[in-house]
Structure 1
Amino acid sequence: MTKSLIIFDLDGTLIDSVPDLADGVDKMLAHFDKSPAGTDNARTWVGNGSVKLVERALVWAELSLDNLHHAHEIFLKEYATCQGKTVEYNGVTDGLNCLITQGFTLALCTNKPAQFLPDILNNMGWTDKFACVIGGDSLPTKKPDPAPLLHICDTLGMDKSQAVMVGDSKNDILAGQNAGITTLALTYGYNYGEPIADSRPDEVFDNFGDLVTSLL
């Protein structure tokens, strides 16, 4: 595969952040005297950004969406204190280092709010890995809109034909397809309980190492 720019999703692709996200959601729900939703539910709610995550939690808890703005503010505050359980998926750091050594430019495009990215990247030891980092609120639109991916290409001076989008959810694949960018999918992440192959990415991989090998 002759490519030079690899754009990665974050949650469900490079890191498993659901335990921390679930803790943030459960602390938010506790403000409304509701029972914790737990990690299994949170795992099916991740992928469309923090507002949608909170909205899904409120629906689950049978709370009015009139509470959404307030609940989202509570979640952001609580999630900022929940960073101890997020871990990288097997082989990710080695894979990123291998790609960089081979001359690839790496970028990050996530729907997670940008305010949380510096600490996560620092905790993972990835601060210097990505030439461009885009959060869910960095631009007017987020995935599955193609604009964030095209913005990355423009910012780095690369044509979209040189780029690959790597993700675990249909939002990632749709964003890549909408942008006219090659899409590679991983099966181990968060995709609302749906097989990622249903979104018809160009290739599907069960582990990060095999994906990296395919790019070399």
Structure 2
Amino acid sequence: MRKQGYTYILLDLDGTITDSKEGLLESYRAGLAAVHFSDYTEEQLLSFLGPPLRQSLKYSFGFDETTLDAAMQGFRERLAVAGIEKNTLYPGVREFLQWAHGQGKKLIVATSKTSRIARGALERCGILGDFDMVAGKDEAGGAGEKAAVIAYVLEHFPGIQKEECVMIGDRKYDILGAREMGMDAIAVLYGYGSREELESCCPDALCESLQDVKKLL
């Protein structure tokens, strides 16, 4: 960790800023119902929280491309509503954002959701205006890999140095994406990833809460 602090703070959305589990699970079920697939467990659905969904569906269920397209369409249609409406802020988020602004930090959302849905969820929670940028998978291109979203963020700020940046997230995909882009990463334990998962990818720090994160920054 850099002792002099960071200027740019990148935060994952689901599991880090907002608890969107209810809306995501509802949307997963809708996607699977669209292809008349019911041979899944709730544990499998929970494992989809975080990574790109298309890859998870292919890996878990062996869907062909046509089935994947149909499942993703059903998922997106439901997520367009549930992904915005069914979100609650984690404890300490508002206080953390206020503190970061007071310190002159740049706040950026880096999410595997589309930017439209991410902005809608943040607006509904009343914090959209707290962010200098909301970067989603649609703007970054690719299948929603976190490294691609982070790369898009870096391109957006001319002259930005990776040493000035830190990624905060709750799943290994956030930590590994930051590592791939040469950026420091902090893992938070209150979201969807387990301690075992997060420790396995060796984040620069592992925090129980955003209050703990603030002490590091």
> How many angstroms apart in 1 are the aligned matches of 2:39 and 2:21?
14
Q: Any residues of structure 2 matched to 1:51-130 within 5 Å, and which? A: 51-55=54-58, 59=61, 66-82=66-82, 83-130=84-131
After TM superposition, the structure 1 = structure 2 runs for residues 120-199 of structure 1, keeping only pairs within 5 Å, are 120-141=121-142, 142-145=144-147, 147-157=148-158, 158-191=160-193, 194-199=196-201
- Identity over aligned residues, as a percent? 25
Number of positions where the alignment pairs a residue of Structure 1 with one of Structure 2: 211
The offset of 1:27, in angstroms, is 2.2
TM-score, length-normalised on structure 2?
A: 0.85
Q: CA shift at 1:115, angstroms?
A: 2.9
**For residue 173 of structure 2, what is the amino acid of its counterpart?**
N
**Distance of aligned partners of 1:36 and 1:20 in 2 relative to their CA distance in 1, 3 Å threshold:** farther
Kept in 1, the 8 Å contact 2:9–2:108? The answer is yes
Instruction: Give, in whole Å, the separation in 2 of the partners of 1:149 and 1:72.
Output: 23
Quick one: structure 1 residues 153 and 30, their matched pair in 2 at CA, closer, same or farther if it must change by over 3 Å? closer
> C-alpha displacement at 1:153, in angstroms?
2.9
CA distance in 2, matches of 1:74, 1:170: 26
**Residues 15 and 192, structure 2, Cα contact 8 Å, conserved in 1:** yes
Aligned match of 2:213 in 203, 211, 214? 211
Bigger share in helix: 2
Q: Conserved in 2, the CA contact under 8 Å of 1:49 and 1:113? A: no
- Partner of 1:4 in structure 2? 7
Paired residues of 2:10 and 2:110 also in contact (CA < 8 A): yes
Query: Alpha-carbon deviation of 1:53?
Result: 4.8
SS at match of 1:108: strand
Are the structure 2 counterparts of residues 18 and 116 from structure 1 closer, same or farther at C-alpha, using a change threshold of 3 Å? same
Contact 2:189/2:195 (8 A) holds in 1: no
C-alpha contact (below 8 Å) 1:5/1:163 kept by paired residues: yes
Structure 1 residue 93: Cα displacement:
1.5
Measure how far apart 1:48 and its partner are.
Answer: 2.3
- Going from structure 1 to structure 2, the CA distance change for 1:160 and 1:78 (only over 3 Å counts) comes to same
RMSD across aligned C-alpha pairs, in angstroms? Answer: 2.4
Secondary structure in structure 2 of the residue aligned to 1:6: strand
Q: CA deviation at 1:120?
A: 0.6
Distance 2:98 2:31 in 1: 37
> How far, CA to CA, are the matches of 2:195 and 2:78 in structure 1?
26
Using the size of structure 1 for normalisation, the TM-score is 0.86
Amino acid at match of 1:15: T
Structure 1 contact 149–175 (Cα < 8 Å) conserved? yes
Gaps of 5+ in 1: none
Which aligned segments of 4 or more residues in structure 1 are displaced greater than 6 angstroms?
none
**Structure 1 pair 151–72 and aligned structure 2 pair: CA distance change class (3 A):** closer
Cα distance in 2, alignment partners of residues 47 and 65 from structure 1? 21
